[in-house]
Amino acid sequence: MSRYLVRRFLIILPVLIGITFINYGIINLAPGDPVDLMIDPNMSQADKEVRREALGLRDPFLIRYARWMGELLRGNLGYSFTTFEPVTVRVGRRVGPTLILMGTAFVMAYLLAVPLGILSAIRPYSWVDYLTSFMALIGVSLPTFFTGLVFTYVFSLRLGWLPSGGMQSLGGGGGLADLVRHLILPASVLTLTNIGLVLRLVRSSTLEILKQDYIRTAWAKGLPERVVVFRHALRNSLLPVITMAGVQLPALIAGSVITEQVFQWPGMGWLTVQAILSRDYPTLMALNLLAAIMVLGGTLAADLMYAVIDPRIRYD
Amino acid sequence: MPTNVGRRLQRGYWGTVLRRFLRHRLAVTGLILLLLLVFAAIAAPWLSPYNPYEMDVMAFGAPPSPDHLLGTDSVGRDVLSRVLHASRVSLLVGLGAVTLNVVIGVLLGSVAGYAGRRIDSVIMRFTDMMLSFPPLMIILVLVSILGPGLANVVLVLGLLGWPRICRLIRAEMLRLKEQEFITAATALGVPGPRILFRHLIPNAFPPVLVAATFGTAQAIIIEASLSFLGMGVQPPTASWGNLLTDAQSMGVLGSMPWLWIPPGLFIVTAVLSINFLGDGMRDALDPRLRD
């Protein structure tokens, strides 16, 4: 097991370095730099050059990358080009809200999808099955931003039940209840776009398991359906669902970028859009790095869980 | 005589596929809806009541009326005409991006699967790395660097979306390579590239076709998302996504629903019907692929 762990980490490391390198590369190929964007008519060309020098934008690419990597290893991700605060602080502030949003959506998607998926697998081609497949496909087909707009329009503008954006009411300190009220709409939107994939996977893996010989044996013993499904089938059919949890992270991150933008949720996704629009390279790099780490970490965690839960799998 | 048998068998396969497809009611509905959308897109210049760029000075932000069936936007352009013209752009982006995906994916995947060994592992490690990029993040960064716009969106989506198809076709190659008709072709001295292009790739195509169908729906959603954020197709050219950009302001969202509901419904209809179609095609072409 430990040898497997070490090997997995050794595979991840070059991928991570590759990701930072390519990211840094394409961001640096970009025309235009932050100095150009500070459109101050009073700033002379010479002043702009001084700014550029100060921000270290004149050095060759590899030197800038090496310097950035060196600082990175010391825990310094540089300073934002727009707000001049440390990137770690700027991004760090956004991690909490994003985790709250993604975590809620993640849990909600699984709580809904697992029972529904099992139900449609034990009654394949029934109306429940058709309804859930149909809903799953609709969930996958709805663009996050359109669902977000519709939800805001209906629940916030028309019915006035819930706030249309932000994480807290103005004037601060509304406590947990206030946070939950703000969380309901964005979390539901994100759940809806993610539920389809989980549903289909739960259904197909349960269907697969129900065809196995040991399930037929369980039926033949005259066990009631409840026992066959929950004691014999469920444990095995949920195994692939765990790996799915890791694979799903990229989709969840992508969904949260759009959702946060629509609902002005003060998380990493919203910051990403802001950083792109203002060409704030250090912030963008940090966000991309964090997203890549989350994706790789998620996949790794899922693989490890799989190995722990399923004793048939031997990695070394 | 043998060719006769072959032809009959072949007709039998496609006949079965067609029969299985037609039994899938949602897929047939999807196909019909999609054909209607494609027709609307092609015929947009003739179907549109107005020029999509022309401003009606008598009607700024007018609600739907007999004159403007879906109302006008804040500068007086006819919404129906703009949505119809946007269909051309959005469908084209989806198709263009997926065509690029298929070309790159099939080339790399079939070479990896057929050549094996060193070439295979180099290509597959590269594919793995591409897959570990969080997709939307990298797409956003690339598009903002290349500059937003129609061609760049197609290019970025096309250059980033191929890994899945690549893995799929490689797996098919590995399976087909071991089969007897390939051994026979090799024994007959058919040159490698000819085996690859005439025997292997055509046989590996059904799953690719299905993946490409789902990929088109995906590309349409991503284009719409990018354009919605202001980083995709740029106004005044209309795409389904950028017609919704204005709805980010609460004023437009609340008081001018005719501006953003129609393009939104077009996106949902397009994506949904393509996904239904893909579902039906998967079941029809290869029942083994059903999840």
CATH number, domain with residue A264: 1.10.3720.10
Which pLDDT belongs to residue B211? 86
Task: Tell me the pLDDT band of A41, cut-offs 50, 70 and 90.
Answer: low
Q: Confidence band (pLDDT; 50, 70, 90) for A196?
A: confident
Query: Are A113 and A58 within one domain?
Result: no
What's the CA gap between A316 and A84, in Å, rounded?
48
Average pLDDT over residues A97-115: 88
Same domain flag for A125 and A240: yes
Evaluate if residue B290 carries a pLDDT over 50: no
Alpha helices in chain A (DSSP H): 2-29, 34-37, 45-54, 61-73, 87-122, 127-141, 144-151, 175-210, 213-220, 225-227, 234-237, 239-247, 249-263, 268-277, 281-309
The residue that leads in pLDDT, B129 or B86, is B86
What per-residue confidence (pLDDT) applies to B7? 52
Per residue in B54-83, pLDDT (tens digit) is 776 676 766 777 776 777 777 767 778 888
Q: Which of A29-33, B153-157, B190-194 has the highest mean pLDDT?
A: B153-157
B206-221 per-position pLDDT tens digit: 888 888 888 899 899 8
In a domain, A81, yes or no: no
Tokens 């909490």 -> residue: A96
Q: Tell me the pLDDT of chain A averaged across its residues.
A: 78
A143 and A15 both lie in a single domain = no
Domain end (from A73, A108, A136): A73
Contact B279 A137 (CB under 8 A): yes
Q: What is the pLDDT of residue B102?
A: 92
User: Side-chain half-sphere of B258: how many Cα atoms within 13 Å?
Assistant: 20
ipTM: 0.79
Element (H, E) at B2: helix B2-23
What are the chain A neighbours of B140 within 8 Å (beta carbons)?
257, 272-273, 276
Q: Is residue A273 part of a domain?
A: yes
Alpha-carbon distance A106 to A227, whole Å? 28
Instruction: Return the higher-pLDDT residue of B40 and A172.
Output: B40
Contacts of A193 (CB under 8 A, 6+ apart): A139, A140, A142, A144, A147, A251, A255
A49 and A144: one domain?
A: no
The span from the CA of A137 to the CA of B279, in Å, is 9
**Contact in structure between A233 and A208 (CB atoms under 8 Å):** no
Binning pLDDT at 50, 70 and 90, where does residue B291 land?
Answer: very low
Query: Which two tokens mark A224?
Result: 């009631």
Contact B145 A288 (CB under 8 A): no
With cut-offs at 50, 70 and 90, classify the pLDDT of residue B110.
confident
Please check whether residue A141 lies inside any domain of the structure: yes
Interchain contact, B136 vs A253, CB within 8 Å: yes
Going by the DSSP 8-state scheme, the letter that residue A157 receives in this structure is I
Per-residue model confidence (pLDDT) at position B100: 94
Interchain contact, A146 vs B268, CB within 8 Å: yes
By the 8 A CB rule, do B259 and B246 touch?
A: yes
Confidence of residue B288 (pLDDT cuts 50, 70, 90): low
- What's the sign of the alpha-carbon dihedral B32, B101, B219, A183? positive
Structure tokens at A266: 């003060």
pLDDT beyond 80 at A283: yes
Q: B-chain residues within 8 Å CB-CB of A27? A: 141, 145
A196, A290: one domain: yes
Give the percent of chain B with pLDDT over 90: 8
Asked if residue A37 has pLDDT above 60, the reply is: no
For every residue of A19-71, DSSP letters joined together read HHHHHHHHHHH-SS-HHHHS--TT--HHHHHHHHHHTTTTS-HHHHHHHHHHH
Give me the mean pLDDT over the A33-62 stretch. Answer: 66
Kindly report the nearest CA distance between residue B97 and chain A, in angstroms: 18
What residue segments make up the domains of chain B, in order of their start?
16-49+72-285
| Interface of chain B toward chain A, CB-CB under 8 angstroms | 26, 128-129, 132-138, 140-142, 144-145, 147, 217, 221, 224-225, 228-231, 244, 247-248, 250, 253-254, 257, 260, 264, 267-268, 271-272, 275-276, 279, 291
Peptide bond into B236 cis (omega under 30): yes
The number of domains in chain A is 2
pLDDT of A249 over the 80 cut: no
Average pLDDT, chain B: 81
Q: Would you state the pLDDT for residue A62?
A: 79
For B254-275, what is the mean pLDDT? 86
Q: Is B178 exposed, middle or buried (0-12, 13-18, 19+ CB in 10 A)?
A: exposed
Q: What is the mean pLDDT of residues A149-170?
A: 78
pLDDT over 80 at B46, yes or no: yes
A235 and A298 belong to one structural domain: yes
Same domain as A281, residue A166 = yes
Interchain contact, B137 vs A257, CB within 8 Å: yes
At which residue do the structure tokens 């040898």 appear?
Answer: A3
Q: Which long-range contacts (CB under 8 A, 24 or more apart) does A116-119 make?
A: A116/A199, A116/A202, A117/A198, A117/A199, A117/A200, A117/A201, A117/A202, A117/A203, A117/A206, A118/A202, A118/A203, A118/A206, A118/A229, A118/A234, A118/A237
Cβ contact, residue pair B141, A262, below 8 Å: no
Is a pLDDT exceeding 60 seen at residue B261?
A: yes
> What does the angle CA B127 – CA B129 – CA B134 come to, to the nearest 5 degrees?
110
| pLDDT on residue A29 | 67
Q: Which amino acid is at A185?
A: L
The answer to whether A119 touches A128, Cβ cutoff 8 Å, is yes
pLDDT score for B1 = 43
Q: Is the pLDDT of residue A257 over 90?
A: no
Q: Is the domain of A296 the same as that of A158?
A: yes
Chain A nearest-CA residue for B223: A143
Pick the CATH number of B16-49+72-285 from 3.30.70.260, 3.40.1350.10, 3.40.50.300, 1.10.3720.10: 1.10.3720.10
Q: pLDDT confidence of B35, banded at 50, 70, 90?
A: very high
Chain B residue numbers with beta carbons less than 8 Å from the beta carbon of A203 are 291
Per-residue pLDDT band at B103 (split at 50, 70, 90): very high
Choose among B53, B42, B41, B36: nearest CA to B84: B41
Please give the residue range of the domain that contains residue A41: 2-73
Q: Is the pTM of this model over 0.90?
A: no
A168 and A281 inside one domain: yes
What mean pLDDT do residues A220-245 have? Answer: 77
* Tokens 């947009």 found at: B44
Work out the number of other CB atoms within 10 angstroms of the CB of residue B180. 8
Radius of gyration of chain A (CA): 24
A261 shares its domain with A228: yes
Among B221, B275, B276, B281, pick the best mutation site for testing chain A contact (most A Cβ within 10 A): B221
Residue A180 and residue A48 share a domain: no
